[in-house]
Amino acid sequence: CEAGSIATGCREGLFEITYKYPKLNGESTDVVSEESEVKGCPKGWVEFTWKYPKPNRNYQSIDIQCAIPKETTIQSTQKDVWENKGSVSLFHDTKNKNLRVVIKQLKPEDSGKYKCNKRGRSQKTDEVELEVEEDGCQSQLIQTAYKTAKTTITCDYTGNKCKFFCKENGLTCEDILSTKSSVNGTFTLTETKCGFNMSISNVSSEHAGVYWCGVESNKGNSRASRKQIQLEVKAITTFKRSPTTGQNLTYWCKYPNGAFIKKFICKGEDPSICQPLVSTAKQNKNTGKFSMKEDKEKSSISITVRDVTPDDTGTYWCGAESTDKTRSNPFFHRFEMTVVSTTVSTTSSTSPVSSIQSTTASTESLGSFPVLVTVIICVAVLLLLFVLIFILIYKRLIHSKNTRNGAAAQYIKEV
C-alpha cells in the first residue's frame, strides 16, 4: 500500500493490509516513517502483515507498539503458531519472514496508530493508522442454499481493484477466488456492473460456513472485505414430471406455516437469483402461460402451466419473499419439468397414415384373437355334448332291442 493510501473495510468485516518495512541503512536508526490510513468497520476485524526489517535476519521476537487508545506493547513470544492476547492475535511466520496481526471485534476505541518494532530497537518504523467507522460498510446476510443446486452470493463494488472471496477459518479468512483466478472447483467469480458475484455449484453441506467478499489493492498489498455472508445449507423436496408438448400441467407446493406473505415461482438452476414468473403479490395471478392459486387453509399453492413446449423444460422453485432483510428468500419445493416432444415422420405425406393404419390393424388383430379362441372352445364343447348325447341314445336303443328279443324268446318257450 502506497504512503497515504486509504483502504475501506466493512461492518462485521475483515480488513487485511500488507505493509513493508523501510530499508535500514547500516546501524542507522534515523529512518523516514511512512503512514497508511485504514478504515475498518465496527464488530469486524482487521489484519496487518509486517515484513522483517531485514529478510536475511532471524528475529527471536517482535514487539507491536499500539499508540491508541494508550501506549501499550504487545509482544510475540512464539513462532509459527497463533498467540491470542485479548482481542489481538499474532502469528510470527518464520517461513515467510513476517508478522501477522489480527484485531477482532473492532470498536471505535481501537482507532489509532499501530507500528511494529524490532525488540530492543527504538527506530522509527512504518505506521498504520486504523479508523473504525460505519461509513461504506455493507450489512451481513444469512443466505440459504439447497443441496445439489446452485447458489450465488452478490457483492457490491464499482471500483477497479482486484476482488476476492474467502471463507472464515478460525482466526483467518482463507482465500477461495479472486479476479486474478476466477474458477476454483465448484466456485466461480464473475464481475458485474455493480460489483461481482460468487457462484457455488452442486452445493453440499461442506459449503456451509461464514464467507467474506472484498477487494484488494492493485499491488496486492492491502485487502478489505465488503460483506459477510453466513451460508446455511438445507435439503429440499424435489419432484419431477414429463408432460407432452401441448398439454396443460398443474402441480402443487406446500409451504410451512409462518409469516410468508408473498409466494412466487421462478425458473432457473439457481434460486438465489431467479426472477419470479408469477406471484401471489400481484392481483392478476394469471400470466397466460402460468397461473397460481393459493389455498391458505391447506397452506399450499397450485401452479398451472398451459400448452407446454420444449422451452418450458427446466427447474422451477416455489418460494416466498423474506420479511427479514438480513435473510435470503426461503424456498420450499423444487420442480423439474422435462417436456417430451411428439415424434412425427416427415419422409412422405403418406408415411404417418401408413404407420397409423399398420398400428391399428395390428391392434385389431390382437383384439380379435380372444374372441376366436372363445368360439373354438364353445364349438368343441358343443361337439362333445353332441357325441355324449348320441352315445346315450345309442345305448338306450340297444338296451330296448335286447329287452324285446328276450320277451319273444320266453313266449315261444311257454307255447
> Per-residue pLDDT for 47 more than 70?
yes
- Regarding beta strands 127-132 and 35-40, do their DSSP bridges make them parallel or antiparallel, or are they unpaired? parallel
Give 17-85 as a DSSP string.
EEEPPPPP-TT-------EEEEEE-TT-EEEEEEE-SSTTS--S-EEEEE-SSS-EEEEE-SSSSEEEE
> What local confidence, expressed as pLDDT, does residue 148 receive?
95
Q: Give me the chain's average pLDDT, please.
A: 75
Mean pLDDT, range 234-253, rounded to an integer: 93
Model's pTM, two decimal places?
Answer: 0.68
Lowest mean pLDDT of 25-29, 59-63, 112-116, 217-221, name the range. Answer: 25-29
Higher pLDDT, 393 or 2: 393
> What local confidence, expressed as pLDDT, does residue 64 receive?
60
> What local confidence, expressed as pLDDT, does residue 65 receive?
55
Mean pLDDT, range 262-276, rounded to an integer: 92
Q: How confident is the model at residue 42 (pLDDT cuts 50, 70, 90)?
A: confident
Rounded CA-CA distance 24/127 in Å is 15
Mean pLDDT, range 301-320, rounded to an integer: 93
Higher pLDDT, 366 or 130: 130
> Per-residue pLDDT for 94 more than 50?
yes
> Per-residue pLDDT for 254 more than 80?
yes
Q: How confident is the model at residue 31 (pLDDT cuts 50, 70, 90)?
A: very low
- Extended strands (E) in 221-305: 222-234, 237-241, 249-254, 263-267, 276-279, 290-295, 300-305
Q: How confident is the model at residue 3 (pLDDT cuts 50, 70, 90)?
A: very low
Higher pLDDT, 155 or 22: 155
Closest alpha carbon to 62 in 39, 83, 31: 83
Q: How confident is the model at residue 366 (pLDDT cuts 50, 70, 90)?
A: very low
> What local confidence, expressed as pLDDT, does residue 67 receive?
45
> What local confidence, expressed as pLDDT, does residue 249 receive?
93
186 in Cβ contact with 206 (< 8 Å): no
> What local confidence, expressed as pLDDT, does residue 138 receive?
82
> What local confidence, expressed as pLDDT, does residue 370 receive?
59
Higher pLDDT, 75 or 413: 75
> What local confidence, expressed as pLDDT, does residue 329 receive?
93
> What local confidence, expressed as pLDDT, does residue 220 receive?
62
End-to-end CA gap in the chain: 158
What percentage of the chain reaches a pLDDT higher than 90?
24
Using CB atoms within 10 Å of the CB of residue 262, give its burial: 0 to 12 exposed, 13 to 18 middle, 19+ buried: middle
* pLDDT tens profile 181-212: 888 889 999 888 888 899 999 999 999 999 98
Higher pLDDT, 105 or 291: 291
Mean pLDDT, range 396-413, rounded to an integer: 61
Q: How confident is the model at residue 243 (pLDDT cuts 50, 70, 90)?
A: very high
Closest alpha carbon to 162 in 185, 193, 196: 196
Higher pLDDT, 8 or 177: 177
Q: Quick one: cell of 307?
A: 400448452
Q: How confident is the model at residue 348 (pLDDT cuts 50, 70, 90)?
A: very low
* pLDDT tens profile 121-139: 555 556 777 888 877 678 8
182-207 CB burial, b ≥16 within 10 A, e <16: beeeebbbeeeeebbbbbbbebeeeb
Rounded CA-CA distance 90/79 in Å is 10
Mean pLDDT, range 107-129, rounded to an integer: 70
* pLDDT tens profile 272-289: 999 889 888 775 566 778
Closest alpha carbon to 47 in 9, 6, 20, 86: 9
